[in-house]
Amino acid sequence: MRIVTRLIAVSDLGCREIARRAGLPAQKVSDLLSGRLEHLSVEELQILYRTIDPEPTAH
């Protein structure tokens, strides 16, 4: 979760654009950035991660 949050924070894309590309409501990305992790499922976190970092890297 921390990695996804950091990737969102340093991304050139805005939260709404990230959410749009991931096919998720923008509110879910806002919730994640606000620390409300319980609003997202594991699958949604994985989708966000793959949206922001499409090529696997060693984190």
pLDDT recorded at residue 20: 95
Could you tell me the pTM of the whole model? 0.77
Is pLDDT above 80 for 35? yes
Q: What is the mean pLDDT of residues 13-41?
A: 90
Mean pLDDT, all residues of the chain? 87
What domains are there in the chain, each with its CATH number? 2-52 (1.10.260)
- Torsion, CA 30, CA 50, CA 37, CA 17, rounded to 10: 10
Q: What is the pLDDT of residue 43?
A: 94
Q: What is the pLDDT of residues 9-19, one digit of tens each?
A: 888 888 899 99
To the nearest 10°, report the CA torsion of 7, 48, 50, 11. Answer: -30
